[in-house]
Amino acid sequence: MIRRSQPQGTLEGFEKVFVPEKIIVTGGAGFIGSNFVRWVIENAPNAHVVVLDKLTYAGNINNLAGLPEDRLTFVKGDICDKELVESLFSEADAVVHFAAESHNDNSIANPDPFLRTNVEGTYTLLEAARKYGVRFHHVSTDEVYGDLALDDPSKFTEDSPYRPSSPYSSTKAASDMLVRAWHRTYGVPITISNCSNNYGAYQHIEKFIPRQITNILTGKHPKLYGDGLNVRDWIHVEDHSAAVWLILTQGAIGETYLIGADGEKNNLDVLRSILRNMGKDPDDFDWVKDRPGHDRRYAIDATKLKTELGWRPIHTDFDAGLKSTIDWYIENKPWWLGEKEATEAKYDATGH
């Protein structure tokens, strides 16, 4: 039976587990969205997945290759397209919303598509969820909380104030606010997750780790911004997917959960690990100019997710995860090679 809503902030009186049968995954051809689709197909045998993806430069239909056709429907389209969104929502019982413009550097060069997709797109989906009573899981980022000093002993929690720094993170913060307002005002059954930096296979080569791996593989120097001491809290993408499924199916309506795997590392250390793992001199890279407004440090306290829902990361050995990520890019050159020149040309234009 499809259950379409739960009371605010509680599971009392309801069976503990929400079992969606038809799930829309927006952005399901992107890095994390496609990992989540694979995760659902492998772990939730009764769920049918409908991917709604515009296939921007960041989306790739091949990310879904090999998945069973009777479990997956792919719809190429824009989350801002109200008519299309309504037609899909009228037949679904849950949406997991990954679709976004996701790269900070792009948002600094041109914020326009970030406002449209991240804010207007989320609004369009929320209105359809309200109309058809669809359960809504919103995938967001720890960047909504701004940054921490390197010597600050604290980490982000669900109660940290919103202080986004970049056009990207401010549009994600705006989308979180819309989701909360649609819950409080209209009773849309929502959950929100804010996750730290993901790594793993199928990540677009504009992002830090795959950019450096593919630079080395194409004879270019890796590029490190600023003083290289900015800290990111790395989590394997499969741990993120598992957490999102848990929150969708067992999270309390109206609640926010932070997702992170205690993976704080500075960029210099990560880059040197990549270079060492690829048999290169750990100092063989270029220092390049810093990102404007560059957040110094992110760190997640995932206590709520662990204590209330029992989530634990599986990929706790970062070096092992990094090695298998490097291997994936070595073994899947055709997946990224065609994009390399254009991606680096964008960076050349901004001096990065």
267 binds, among ligand NAD, ligand DAU, none (CB under 5 to 8 A by kind): ligand DAU
Task: Verify binding: residue 198, ligand NAD, rule CB under 6 A.
Answer: yes
At position 120, the amino acid (one-letter code) is E
User: Which residues make beta-bridge pairs with 49?
Assistant: 23, 72
d(CA 83, CA 86): 5
Contact code string over 212-251 relative to ligand DAU, x by CB under 6 A:
-----------xxx----x-x-------------------
262 a catalytic residue = no
Reading the block at residue 131, the tokens are 């109309």
CB of 47 to ligand DAU, least distance (A): 25
Strand 190-195 and strand 198-199: pairing? unpaired
Sign of CA dihedral 304, 307, 309, 315: positive
Residues 84-103 that bind ligand NAD (CB under 6 A): 98-102
The only residue of 106, 141, 325, 343 in contact with ligand NAD, by rule CB under 6 A: 141
DSSP state for residue 61 in the 8-state scheme: G
Which among 82-90, 110-118, 207-215, 336-344 is the span making contact with ligand DAU, rule CB under 6 A?
207-215
In the chain the beta strands, taken as DSSP E runs, fall at: 22-26, 48-53, 72-76, 94-97, 135-141, 190-195, 198-199, 223-225, 231-233, 235-236, 256-259, 264-266, 286-288
The only residue of 25, 47, 72, 80 in contact with ligand NAD, by rule CB under 6 A: 80
44 binds, among ligand DAU, ligand NAD, none (CB under 5 to 8 A by kind): none
Asked if residue 285 lies in contact with residue 222, where contact means CB atoms within 8 angstroms, the answer is yes
142 a catalytic residue = yes
* Closer Cβ to ligand NAD, 195 or 270, answer by number: 195
Of 127, 142, 206, 264, the active-site residue reads 142
Task: Verify binding: residue 211, ligand DAU, rule CB under 6 A.
Answer: yes
The only residue of 6, 34, 102, 107 in contact with ligand DAU, by rule CB under 6 A: 102
91 a catalytic residue = no
Strand 231-233 and strand 264-266: pairing? antiparallel
d(CA 256, CA 112): 27
| Residue located via tokens 């990094």 | 322
The only residue of 26, 141, 193, 241 in contact with ligand DAU, by rule CB under 6 A: 141
Catalytic residue IDs = 142-143, 168
